[in-house]
Chain A
Amino acid sequence: AQKVTQAQTEISVVEKEDVTLDCVYETRDTTYYLFWYKQPPSGELVFLIRRNSFDEQNEISGRYSWNFQKSTSSFNFTITASQVVDSAVYFCALSETGGTSYGKLTFGQGTILTVHP
């Protein structure tokens, strides 16, 4: 069965610091998707990025960047020059593509990020 581990339970930084959120996953599928979602204090779950297992290119979107390394089963997320509005719970998730697991998301435990002014 698949598993997602976010070892960092809580991270606290001061505004403008860079911060990296770690995510490690386990799966027996050769084809899968990895996701990051953000859950601000208001509670909704906001999609940030999806990566498929064949695409190991790192991606940058504004202040956000993602580092996918299949060799270490990791999909880390970096926020550059953090802002107070980045304060939220961040979830890493995995979706397998085979059989009965198709489309289902397995979430990590989440990392609570607090950015202080």
Chain B
Amino acid sequence: SAVISQKPSRDICQRGTSLTIQCQVDSQVTMMFWYRQQPGQSLTLIATANQGSEATYESGFVIDKFPISRPNLTFSTLTVSNMSPEDSSIYLCSVRTGREPQHFGDGTRLSIL
């Protein structure tokens, strides 16, 4: 399966600031997704990162808050903008290609002070 690298692995940020999370895959993949896992909760899909076009957001998530880029088939970024303590979560990148099941990066643990 693809090797997925997420950076940073964790960060502590001040409210009102923004953080960009990177997801790098060691091979070309068809689909890339971003999920959020709030403390003690399950995973919720934020958006599907589309190569060369705007991401497709799920209900409750908007581009102004979570801008996403995917310039090629191996890389994507998620920005968490104007952060508040409610954004403290684990953010996970996942990839799927061909008939392979979806695999996840190790996640980015984000804490907002």
Contact = CB atoms under 8 A, between A and B. Distances in A.
A43 B44 CA distance: 15
A87 B102 CA distance: 22
- The binding surface of chain B is classed by DSSP as strand
Contacts of A91: 42-43
A33 B109 CA distance: 28
Interface in A62-87: none
Interface in B5-49: 31, 33, 35, 41-45, 48
Interface in A11-58: 33, 35, 37, 43-45, 47, 50
Contacts of A50: 101
Contacts of B42: 91, 107-110
B86 to A, nearest CB: 19
Interface of B: 1, 31, 33, 35, 41-45, 48, 56, 58, 90, 92, 94, 96, 101-107, 109
7 contacts: A35-B102, A47-B101, A50-B101, A91-B42, A103-B33, A104-B58, A105-B33
Given A44-B107, A104-B58, A106-B45, 11 more contacts: A33-B101, A35-B101, A37-B104, A44-B106, A45-B104, A47-B103, A91-B43, A95-B102, A104-B33, A105-B33, A107-B42
